[in-house]
Chain A
Amino acid sequence: MKVHRIYALVARHLYLYRRSLPRMMEIFYWPFLDLVIWGFITVYLMKFQGQISGAVTFFLGALILWDILFRAQQGITISFLEEIWARNLMNLFASPLKPSEFLAATMVMSVFKVMAVSVVMVVCAGLFYSYNIFVIGMWLVPFVLNLVMTGWIIGVLTTALIMRFGQEAEVLAWSMVFLFQPISCVFYPMEVLPGWLQAIAWVNPAAHVFEGMRAVLNASVSPFAHLAWATGLNLVFLGLVIAAFHWTFELCRERGLLVRIGE
C-alpha cells in the first residue's frame, strides 16, 4: 500500500469540500438539525425524569454516537459516489491505484467527517442543552472507535453493492445504515426487542456499543464484555466486507461494469 496514492485521493476530496457549500452542509447542517430535534425531545422528557432515569444523557449521548456511526459510513460511500458522479473511476483504476488504497482513502475521509461532525455536535449539545458527552468518561474512546469501524463495515458493504448494481443503487448510500438502526438499540435497551431480534442484534457490533454506553451511564455493570464483543465482531465483519469489496471489484472488471458505472 502506497501512502502517496492514499494522500492523492484524500487531497482530491478535500479540494472538493473546500469550495462546495452543499457538501459542507452535509457535514454540519444535518447533524445540527438532528441535535436540535432530539434536544427538544430530551427537554420534554426531562419533565418525566423520575420515570425515565437518565433520559438526557441517554438520548443526546446516543444521538451523538449514532451520528458518528452514520458519518463514518457516509464518509466511505459518499467518497465512492463522488467518483461515480465525476466519472473519475476510469482515471483512478487505470492508474497504479489498488482497490485497498482506494478503500483506505475513503476511510481517512470518513475519519475527517466524523471528527468534524463530532465537534459540531458536542459543542452544540453543550451550548444549547448543557450536555456533556464526556460524562461517559474514558470509555468514550473505545466506543467511538468501534462505531467508526461499524460505520466502515456498512460503508464498504454499501459501496460494493453500488459498484455491482450501478448508480441506480446509490439510494443505499443514505438508506442502508437505517436498516441496522432498529437492531443497534440506539435509543432503547436490547431487552425490549423480541427474542428472535435480540439474537440478530447480538451479532451487531453497534448494539454492544450502545448497550455498553447505557451500562456506563447507569453505573450498573462494566461495559467491558460488550466492548470485547463489539471489537471482535467489528474485526471479523470488517475483514469479511473488505474481502467482499475486492471480490466485487474483480467481478465488475470481469463483467465490464467498472467502466460502465455512471453511464
Chain B
Amino acid sequence: MSTPVLHVQHLVKRFGAFVAVNDISFDIRPGEILGLLGPNGAGKTTTIQMLLGLVTPTAGSIQMFGLDLAAHREEILQQVNFSSTYVSMPQALTVEENLWVIARLYGLSQIQERVDDIVKRLEMEEFRHKVTRKLSSGQSTRLGLAKAFLTEPKILFLDEPTASLDPDIAQKIRSLLKEERRSSGLSVLYTSHNMHEMEEMSDRIIFLQRGKIVAEGTAQEIVARFGQADLEEVFVKLAREK
C-alpha cells in the first residue's frame, strides 16, 4: 500500500466551548479522491481550513508528503491548492490578471503557456479578458478551479466545486479531475451536496456529523452498512439523527 500524501491524526478544533471538529483521523493516498460528506455545521469547512493552514488546530497533527504542516507550511502549501464556491477572486481584476497573480505567487515558470493551457481546458477563452465582477456565478466557479489547477498541485481541496455549474460544464470538470488524477496522481479531498456526484467521483467517503466521523468507506459500503437505497438516503438519515 502506498504512503499517504495526507495523514490526519486526532484532529480537534474548539472555538471556546464549541467543538467544531472532534478527534478525526484519516488518510488520502496518491491519486485518491476522498469525499467529505456531512450536513451544514458538521465540520467540513473547518477541517479544510485547518488543512490549508488558515485555522490552527486545537489538538492533533496534519502531515502532507510526510511533513508536518505546522513546521513546513511553506513547502507544503506550494504543492497544495483549493477551490471553493464560497471564495471569490479579486473582483476588479480580469480573469487573466487573476491567474497571472496566482502564477507569480506560486513562483511558476512559463506563465503565459500555463495560463493559456488552463483557460483552454476549462473553456474560458470567451471571458479571459473580462473583469471578474462581471462573470456569471458559473464562470466565477471556473475561475476558482482554474486558479486551483494552474499551480499543478499534488493535493487539491475542493469545496462544492460544481455547485453553480451547468451540467455540461460540471461533467467536464469531473472529467478533468479524473484525467488529472490519472495523469499526475493528483489527490483530492472533495465536498459536495450532490450525492450522485459524490458516488461517481469518490474512491472513499468520510461522513462527518457534529465534528465526528460517523461513517467511512466506499459509497457502496456506507449504503449497505446503513441499509438504505442510496447515499442520499444515508445522508438524510444521518443528518436527521439527534
Contacts and interface: CB of A to CB of B under 8 A. Distances in A.
Interface of A: 2, 4-5, 7-9, 11-12, 15-16, 19-20, 82, 86-88, 90-98, 250, 253-256, 258-259
**Chain A CB within 10 Å, residue with most, of B54, B93, B105:** B105
Interface in B51-108: 52-56, 73-75, 77-78, 80-82, 84, 87-94, 97, 100-107
A94 B52 CA distance: 5
Contacts of B89: 86, 88, 91
Given A8-B105, A16-B92, A256-B46, A94 B56 contact: no
B49 interface: yes
Contacts of A98: 74
B147 interface: yes
Contact of A96 (B55, B78, B87, B103): B78
Contacts of B97: 12, 15
Contacts of B107: 2, 4-5
B241 to A, nearest CB: 26
Given A96-B77, A253-B55, A256-B15, A8 B101 contact: yes
A256 B16 CA distance: 11
Nearest to A97: B105
Is the contact region of chain B dominated by helix, strand, or loop, or is it mixed? Answer: mixed
Given A2-B107, A11-B100, A86 B92 contact: yes
A87 B53 contact: no
A86 B105 contact: no
A82 B93 CA distance: 12
Given A8-B104, A95-B106, A253 B56 contact: yes
Contacts of B75: 96
Contacts of A15: 92-94, 97, 101
Given A5-B107, A12-B97, 16 more contacts: A5-B104, A8-B101, A9-B101, A11-B104, A20-B92, A82-B90, A86-B88, A86-B90, A86-B91, A86-B92, A91-B102, A96-B75, A96-B77, A98-B74, A254-B55, A259-B54
A94 B89 CA distance: 13
B49 A259 contact: yes
Nearest to B108: A4
Contacts of B103: 8
A259 B20 CA distance: 15
Contacts of A82: 90
22 contacts: A4-B107, A5-B104, A7-B104, A11-B104, A12-B93, A15-B94, A16-B90, A16-B93, A82-B90, A86-B89, A90-B87, A92-B105, A94-B54, A94-B77, A94-B82, A96-B74, A96-B77, A97-B105, A253-B53, A256-B15, A256-B46, A256-B49
Nearest to B82: A94
Contacts of B78: 96
A258 B55 contact: yes
A9 B102 CA distance: 9
Contact of A90 (B54, B74, B106): B54
**Chain B CB within 10 Å, residue with most, of A20, A254, A256:** A256
A241 B60 CA distance: 31
Contacts of B84: 90
Nearest to A20: B92
B74 A19 contact: no
A93 B77 CA distance: 9
B210 to A, nearest CB: 17
Nearest to B78: A96
Contacts of A259: 49, 54-55
B48 to A, nearest CB: 9
